[in-house]
């Protein structure tokens, strides 16, 4: 039987996100997302006691496209998820996957010392887990 080696969120996280201001318009965010092939942006905190937010492509589909709103006239703060559920870099991916399932998430920012250091997704978890199984 294989001895258990923990795989952490830090081991699987990616850097496929941009940290932006909530006053940015959806159009501006989409330009960044398209240029860099990102599926999400993380909204910066406005002050020390604020929380991070997140806008994913699915949020834009639900809150802008489906409601026939102009992406030039909608700010990210209007459609973002906030506070966003985040994970610690040391969290084992099995608990991260359980958290995603419990709350219906597909990704979450990885936060250390009040800074976003990456993003982890189901895809990242499964790909790294497969690599681990092959070791």
Which residue's structure tokens are 């976003």?
Answer: 116
User: Domains along the chain?
Assistant: 9-134 (3.10.580.10)
77-98 pLDDT per residue, tens: 999 999 999 999 999 999 999 9
- Residue 73 region, left (φ>0) first, then alpha (ψ -120 to 50), else beta? alpha
DSSP 73: S
14-72 pLDDT per residue, tens: 999 999 999 999 999 999 999 999 999 999 999 999 999 999 999 999 999 999 999 99
Tell me how far apart the alpha carbons of residues 64 and 80 are, in angstroms, rounded to a whole number: 11
């Amino acid at each position: 039987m294989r001895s258990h080696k923990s795989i952490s969120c830090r081991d699987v996280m990616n850097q496929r996100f941009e940290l932006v201001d909530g006053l940015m318009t959806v159009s501006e965010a989409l330009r960044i997302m398209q240029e860099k092939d990102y599926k999400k942006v993380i909204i910066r905190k406005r002050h020390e006691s604020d929380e991070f937010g997140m806008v994913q492509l699915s949020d834009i589909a639900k809150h802008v496209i489906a409601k026939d709103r102009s992406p030039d006239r909608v700010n990210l703060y209007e459609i973002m998820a906030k506070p966003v559920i985040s994970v610690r870099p040391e969290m084992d991916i099995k608990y991260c996957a359980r958290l995603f399932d419990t709350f219906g998430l597909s990704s979450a920012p990885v936060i250390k010392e009040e800074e976003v250091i990456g993003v982890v997704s189901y895809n990242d978890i499964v790909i790294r887990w497969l690599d681990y199984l092959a070791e």
